[in-house]
Amino acid sequence: MRAIVKQTKGPGLVMTEVDEPEPGPNEVVIDVAHTSICGTDLHIYDWDEWAAETVPIGMAVGHEFSGVVSQVGSAVEDVVAGQRVTGEGHLTCGHCRNCRAGRRHLCANTLGIGVDRPGAFAEQIMIPAANVFVLPDHVPLEMGSIFDPFGNATHTALTFDLTAEDVLITGAGPIGCMAAAIASHVGARNVVVTDVNDYRLGLAAALGASRTVNVAEQDLREVMLEIGIREGFDIALEMSGAPAALRSILPGMIHGGRVALLGLLPDDVAIDWGVVIFHSLTLKGIYGREMYDTWYKMGVFLERGLDLSPIITHTFPAAEFEEAFSTVRSGLAGKVLLDWRSG
Ligand code: ZN
């Protein structure tokens, strides 16, 4: 079968033939319909220090996907061929303290598809049956392929109660935009999204941000006064990984405010710890998705009218993956999909 593979220790990816997966007793093989490109895939393409230490050579990459189940292992009972599915790309160990306590998103031994084991940028992907999420009938396969980042957005947004709160989201990438949609959907008072990219701020507005701010051109403090935020934001979701964004959040928080951190920040970011301590702020790191409550809630959000369709801005045939990667890098895109059924 065709797959997009990291074939040499260096920048680049190639489309090549690899062996089709054979399911073990508890595994499921899925014929891939759509995949979506993540920032992680760009790091693997570029072969940065993290990728060089982590990703095996010769392996298919990619972890955001949807498709149709084609084979199930002999012990699989609750997934059947023909079901439209996506899946959790984090495989957990099942025996560490957190796994045994039902907190699988905090597993100490997580392995990722497309990172540690063969990924989804291929005509077929194999995952444990327990990781399969059957798509509700109302969810198109295109939307199913972005459940992984939609899950990051959902997990982050629901970490703190947003109802009636003033919410700041720094970073209008796809996850920030989806988090804005969720914050609005669950009843936040103001949903303010900041970035320095007007295209992405436009997407955030299309998805439900009540106010977007290009912080290269406008002062966030002025906007806060204009829209009636007197004492500061109640909740902030940091989605950019930009040190300047984190620094801009802290003085704008209400005393006792809560900050969820999803964007991966550099190791050496200095912040004003006096603000954190004297204003009694809570900073919480977020990783992955809760298994599988986040997934359940995503299905319900879409059933109850959450409209994320504007975030899918491009779809390319899988063979044109180079152009698709370039489109992601341009910054002038939301989610960019590869279609594995159209060549
Ligand atoms: Zn574990």
Residue-wise pLDDT for 196-206, tens only, equals 999 999 999 99
Told to judge if 16 belongs to the known catalytic residues of this protein, a careful annotator would answer no
pLDDT in tens, 15-33: 999 999 999 999 999 999 9
What pLDDT, on the 0 to 100 scale, is given for residue 250?
97
How close is the Cα of 56 to the center of ligand 1, in Å? 22
For tokens 């699989």, the residue is 76
Rounded to the nearest integer, the mean pLDDT of the chain is 97
What pLDDT, on the 0 to 100 scale, is given for residue 49?
94
Q: What is the pTM of this model?
A: 0.97
Among residues 35, 40, 110, 159, the one annotated as catalytic is: 40
DSSP 146-168: THHHHHHHHHHHTTS--TT-EEE
How many residues appear in the chain? 343
What is the spatial distance between Cα 96 and Cα 90, in angstroms, rounded to a whole number?
A: 15
For tokens 């990924």, the residue is 119
How close is the Cα of 106 to the center of ligand 1, in Å? 7
User: Quick one: DSSP state of residue 113?
Assistant: B
What pLDDT, on the 0 to 100 scale, is given for residue 343?
63
Told to judge if 35 belongs to the known catalytic residues of this protein, a careful annotator would answer no
Residue 323 identity: E
Least Cα distance to 93 among 111, 78, 77, 81 occurs for 111
User: Quick one: DSSP state of residue 251?
Assistant: G
Low-confidence stretches of the chain (pLDDT beneath 70): 343
The burial of 49, by beta-carbon neighbours within 10 Å (0-12 exposed, 13-18 middle, 19 or more buried), is given as exposed
How close is the Cα of 212 to the center of ligand 1, in Å? 39
What is the spatial distance between Cα 40 and Cα 302, in angstroms, rounded to a whole number?
A: 25
What is the spatial distance between Cα 8 and Cα 266, in angstroms, rounded to a whole number?
A: 27
What is the spatial distance between Cα 65 and Cα 31, in angstroms, rounded to a whole number?
A: 10
What pLDDT, on the 0 to 100 scale, is given for residue 342?
82
pLDDT in tens, 112-169: 999 999 999 999 999 999 999 999 999 999 999 999 999 999 999 999 999 999 999 9
Among residues 43, 313, 314, 327, the one annotated as catalytic is: 43
